[in-house]
Amino acid sequence: MKTQQVLRHHAFGEAGAVLRLEWLPIPEPKAGEVQVRLLVAAINPSDYGRMNGRYGHLPSLPAVAGREGVGVVEALGAGVKGVVCGQRVRFSDAGAWQTFCCLPADALVFVPEEIPTDQAAMAFINPPTAHCLLSQYMDLKAGDWIVQNAGNSAVGLAVIQMAKAMGVRTVSQVRREALVEPLKALGADVVVLEGSGWEASVADLTGQQGLRLALNSVGGASAIAQLKVLEAGGTQVTFGGMTGEAVRFPTRYIIFNDLRMLGFWWDAYCQKAQGGAVDAIMASVFKMFTDGSLRLPIAGKYSFSEYKEALAHHESPRLGKILLTP
Ligand SMILES: NC(=O)c1ccc[n+]([C@@H]2O[C@H](COP(=O)([O-])OP(=O)(O)OC[C@H]3O[C@@H](n4cnc5c(N)ncnc54)[C@H](OP(=O)(O)O)[C@@H]3O)[C@@H](O)[C@H]2O)c1
């Protein structure tokens, strides 16, 4: 029997403690399925949530970890038409850290040829989330200002580049001075340091224009700072909680500035979206990757057998994603 390497966990817990490199049989495609070989997978914070048991939906155990990656079609099951071996497609989102998977042929997401494989591996979660954050909550116009924290995250970098393409201007909160220039080189308008008291001078930074939308994936003091700088009637969308702290709100700002606090989850959006909305978002994301107006940096690339180093790198300060290869 042919076997493959997989990164799997048998219990929920901290990633470094529960994840194991194992050998499992290579799955064969059933009728209507294709077999896909992984090229490159990404490591995302939600992979940790699925491993530690705190994510919005959890796999049954034992579970192959990982949700995002790109692979190549290796074999076709009986009756599959319209798919050719060698085409690149999204790998399984129910276990991306394995060498082979089988997917229904009628649900494949094909990757355009022009997109580099490493970029494609990071295309399916964070860029469409950034797209939704910029398009679903208000009708942003060229010249509007928004604020976001975790400006150096993959979502943050996609927001910067997508906002730039829309003519929307960004204030990005980061935790290290060394990130300021690299973010500006990617199109960030203003980059501020968390905890520096930037809120007091925000009107000078934006030329006295209000901030209409705040994007929060951090929580704690970082999220409260956003609420204090939003213009009256502004909206804060929370889609992550990197500090692990609850998002508290400053009562008087909520009342006197009539602020709205909402949540976003790409997985739920995909479940509910109708009329090809997800395909349209992915087409828009792919177009930006194809024409070069969206690029995500890579901080490191590791083989499955180096997964402990990969996790350690992911958990360190960095600018760019950590990628895994079989
Ligand atoms: N709701 C959704 O549908 C959805 C979809 C995609 C992503 N997300 C969320 O969006 C966020 C970013 O994801 P990503 O893949 O783009 O991230 P990423 O590229 O892995 O980067 C992680 C970011 O989190 C920051 N961070 C880590 N620990 C932190 C802490 N204790 N306090 C403040 N900041 C901290 C990092 O800043 P440093 O470099 O300073 O450590 C970095 O900016 C995550 O919370 C993720 O779960 C949500």
Q: Which residue type occupies 94?
A: A
Ligand 1 site residues (CB inside 6 A) read 44-46, 125-126, 129, 150, 152-155, 175-176, 217-218, 239-240, 242-243, 264-266, 317-318, 321
Nearest CA to ligand 1 atom 45: 240
How many other CB atoms sit within 10 Å of the CB of residue 4? 18
- CA torsion 155→160→164→168, rounded to 10°? 90
Residues 6+ apart with CB under 8 A from 202: 147, 171, 192, 211, 229
The boundaries of every CATH 3.40.50.720 domain in the chain are 128-265
Cα distance between residue 76 and residue 79, in whole Å: 8
pLDDT of 247 reads 75
* Ligand 1 closest atom vs CA 319: 39
pLDDT of 245 reads 84
**Ligand 1 pocket: which of 47, 67, 119, 153 to mutate (most atoms <8 Å of CB)?**
153
Which CATH architecture best describes the domain 128-265? 3-Layer(aba) Sandwich (3.40)
Q: Which residue has the tokens 């949540």?
A: 263
pLDDT of 80 reads 98
The pTM of this model reads 0.98
Cα distance between residue 152 and residue 318, in whole Å: 8
The boundaries of every CATH 3.90.180.10 domain in the chain are 3-122+296-325
Query: What's the number of CA atoms in the CB half-sphere (13 Å) around residue 145?
Result: 20
CATH of 3-122+296-325, one of 3.40.50.11720, 3.90.180.10, 3.20.20.20, 3.40.50.1110: 3.90.180.10
Per-residue pLDDT of the chain (326 residues; tens, 9 = 90+): 899 999 999 999 999 999 999 999 999 999 999 999 999 999 999 999 999 999 999 999 999 999 999 999 999 999 999 999 999 999 999 999 999 999 999 999 999 999 999 999 999 999 999 999 999 999 999 999 999 999 999 999 999 999 999 999 999 999 999 999 999 999 999 999 999 999 999 999 999 999 999 999 999 999 999 999 999 999 999 999 999 887 788 899 999 999 999 999 999 999 999 989 999 999 999 999 999 999 999 999 999 999 999 999 999 999 999 999 99
Residues with catalytic annotation?
Answer: 55
Residues 6+ apart with CB under 8 A from 30: 77, 78, 102
pLDDT of 249 reads 82
Nearest CA to ligand 1 atom 17: 153
| 3 Cα to the center of ligand 1, angstroms | 34
